[in-house]
Amino acid sequence: MQISLSPKMQKFVEEKVRAGLYASPNEVIEAGLESLEEKELFGDFEAGELSSLIAEGQRDLDDGRFEDGDVVFQKLRETSEARRRENKS
């Protein structure tokens, strides 16, 4: 596959490689496509926001701050049932 980039994007890619952030122009393009894929899969997060949220979740896990999924779903079912009972009253 062959692609064409605007002069602005060519310069951007070259700067990333020159700065040593990527080993080749292909790596820069692949990183951009991976970012687009993440955006489509997980939503529109600001740059670095998703990584930050994942890191926060990992810290919570490491510190023992989490609940078992079955417990969470049971609480949700109970809350939902309580609301249904209240609405019938």
- Domain chopping of the chain, boundaries: 7-88
**Amino acid 48: pLDDT:** 81
- 1-51 per-position pLDDT tens digit: 899 999 999 999 999 999 999 999 999 999 999 988 887 887 777 778 878
Q: How far apart are the first and last CA of the chain?
A: 65
> For the whole model, what pTM was predicted?
0.52
Q: Which of 67, 39, 64 is closest to 51 using CA atoms?
A: 39
Residue 89 has pLDDT above 80, yes or no: no
Residue 79 has pLDDT above 90, yes or no: no
Q: Which of 26, 27, 28, 23 is closest to 12 using CA atoms?
A: 28
Q: What is the DSSP string of 3-66?
A: ----HHHHHHHHHHHHTTS-SSHHHHHHHHHHHHHHHHHH--PPTTHHHHHHHHHHHHHHTT--
